[in-house]
Amino acid sequence: MSRTEDHADDRPVSTGSLAHRVPDLGALELLLAVARLGSLGGAARELGITQPAASSRIRSMERQLGVALVDRSPRGSRLTDAGALVTDWAGRIVEAAEAFDAGAQALRDRRDSRLRVAASMTIAEYLLPGWLLALRAQRPDTAVSLLAGNSAAVAERLVSGEADVGFVEGLTVPAGLDSAVIAHDRLIVVTAPTHAWARRRRPLAAEELATTPLILREKGSGTRQVLDSALGGLARPLIELSSTTAVKAAAVSGAGPAVLSELAVGEELAMRRLVRIPVNGIALARDLRAVWPTGHRPTGPARELLSLTRA
């Protein structure tokens, strides 16, 4: 075997991932500081580490690379020829890392400057406006978009990544979502003052409610889910409408009885445009929930919005 071949066999073989062969950023920053200051102690002070720790890091880097990088003497520290070359490369790596960090920060800033909210109709119409006003006071630069729909649509938008946080009002948490209860609500039966039920003296029986055609929200809405559960799936639709406001308007017009959230009809009850009809034998209470994709708890403005709903 020739001397050249024998020397080649003694060279260290690069194995493993790049992370094991290239010094970490902290070590490269230390080498750059030694080159700039001409002192290992000064470089250590600039980076906030002890001189023994700096010496240890340089020696570790020299072992990793297989070359001497720094000559140490009482007059200071001087780069070897190999150290000067490695320092030049290190500068490019640190500059690239700084550019990477700046880009990542820009992405975080862009993410934190927008908030996509999906909410079922009752929450979107009667609770979210106040929460979003409070959020705007805290984060005036955050652009908020609201996607309103029934609880099933909210779940679809969250799972598909179209929304950052959602709000639903059904009995169960849709599959693929985690949740937290943020408020409580109750459904009530209402009619126009001219309806015969408005003059009755006794509470309505659950059986009569189940056999009477009602103005209802559509299948998939939280309101409909709660009512169907309370009546054993027997609710009979006179009209099915896709928004709380539409159901309320139809009830006010005298089209028939409706089942709505207490949150939605406070003004109409106070002005006697609608009358509340007591009902015996069914439970119409429900939880209002914030929801988000399983394992991805809200951060940034979405997290702040959640804290405002609890306040």
Domain ranges in the chain are: 3-110, 116-310
Mean of pLDDT values over 66-83 = 86
In this prediction, residue 6 carries a pLDDT of 39
Residue 311 pLDDT > 90:
no
pTM: predicted TM-score of the whole model, two decimal places: 0.60
Nearest partner of 170 among 281, 260, 289, judged by Cα: 289
Q: Is 163:299 a contact under the CB 8 Å cutoff?
A: no
Residue 233 pLDDT > 90:
no
Round the CA-based radius of gyration of the chain to a whole number and report it: 34
In this prediction, residue 10 carries a pLDDT of 38
* pLDDT level of residue 2 (50, 70, 90 thresholds): very low
Residues 9-56 pLDDT 10s? 434 444 556 667 888 889 999 999 988 888 888 989 999 999 999 899
Residues 167-188 pLDDT 10s? 998 788 888 999 999 989 999 9
In this prediction, residue 220 carries a pLDDT of 82
Q: Is 37:43 a contact under the CB 8 Å cutoff?
A: yes
Mean of pLDDT values over 138-151 = 86
Nearest partner of 91 among 22, 30, 39, 32, judged by Cα: 32
In this prediction, residue 72 carries a pLDDT of 82
* Residues whose CB falls within 8 Å of the CB of residue 53, separated by 6 or more in sequence, listed in order: 44
> What is the rounded CA–CA span in Å between residue 141 and residue 160?
26
The CATH class of the 3-110 domain is mainly alpha
> What is the rounded CA–CA span in Å between residue 30 and residue 40?
9
Residues 114-132 pLDDT 10s? 899 999 888 988 899 899 8
* pLDDT level of residue 255 (50, 70, 90 thresholds): very high
Give me the torsion for CA of 197, 202, 207, 212, rounded to 10°: 0
Give me the torsion for CA of 244, 226, 213, 208, rounded to 10°: -140
In this prediction, residue 7 carries a pLDDT of 36
Mean pLDDT of the chain: 86
Architecture of domain 116-310: 3-Layer(aba) Sandwich (3.40)
Pairing relation of β-strands 114-119 and 165-168?
Answer: parallel
In this prediction, residue 180 carries a pLDDT of 93
